[in-house]
């Protein structure tokens, strides 16, 4: 009987502290915050092209700038606040990936450079980097073989 009362009390506690989210509001926030990040990227792209870079180089520099902005904002504890409001709207673009790399480094810096930052920095983004590099390597080997035999 006491177990049932504990379960009931626990369920009431969970209900009380669980935030009540509105799907429509969450989607709207993801839309406009993600859109704002895209607009910032487009502004950087247009600026680089305005000053004479071709589109491919401008896109590369735009990506680097967005990653740098995200890393700095994460370090200043601003990006997590934006991500809390914007949800997937700011976690899906490249800025979310940069946040995923920087956040563990900040969180585990107290454990030292080797066992803290070094060991934990890629806990979130590591699998993406690992499989991205590995698959690029495989595709490169296939391309090299196909080029060597004259197919490509």
Per-domain residue ranges of the chain: 26-120, 122-152
Helix (H/G/I), strand (E/B), else coil: 22: coil
Distance (Å, rounded) from C-alpha 140 to C-alpha 131? 14
pLDDT at 103: 75
pLDDT in tens, 59-90: 999 999 998 898 889 889 898 899 888 888 88
Closest CA to 98 of 124, 77, 76: 124
pLDDT in tens, 18-57: 877 788 999 999 999 999 999 999 999 999 999 999 999 9
pLDDT at 142: 95
- Pairwise pLDDT comparison (129 vs 75), residue with the higher score: 75
pLDDT at 134 over 90: no
Average pLDDT, the chain: 84
Distance (Å, rounded) from C-alpha 99 to C-alpha 81? 12
- Which of 31-55 are b and which e, b meaning 16 or more Cβ less than 10 Å from the residue's Cβ? eebbeebeeebeebbeebeeeebee
pLDDT at 56: 94
DSSP state of 21: -
116, 109 contact by CB (below 8 A):
yes
């Amino acid at each position: 009987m006491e177990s049932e009362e504990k379960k009931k009390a626990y369920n009431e506690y969970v209900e009380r502290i669980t935030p009540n989210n509105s799907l429509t509001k969450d989607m709207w926030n993801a839309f406009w915050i993600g859109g704002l990040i895209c607009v910032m990227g487009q502004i950087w792209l247009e600026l680089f092209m305005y000053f004479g870079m071709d589109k491919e180089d401008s896109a590369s520099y735009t990506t680097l700038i967005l990653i740098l902005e995200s890393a700095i904002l994460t370090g200043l504890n601003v990006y997590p606040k934006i991500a809390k409001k914007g949800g997937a709207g700011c976690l899906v673009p490249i800025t979310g990936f940069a946040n995923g790399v920087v956040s563990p480094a900040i969180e585990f810096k107290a454990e030292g450079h080797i066992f803290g930052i070094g060991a934990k920095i890629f806990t979130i983004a590591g699998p993406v980097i690992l499989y991205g590099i590995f698959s690029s390597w495989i595709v490169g080997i296939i391309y090299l073989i196909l080029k060597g035999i004259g197919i490509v």
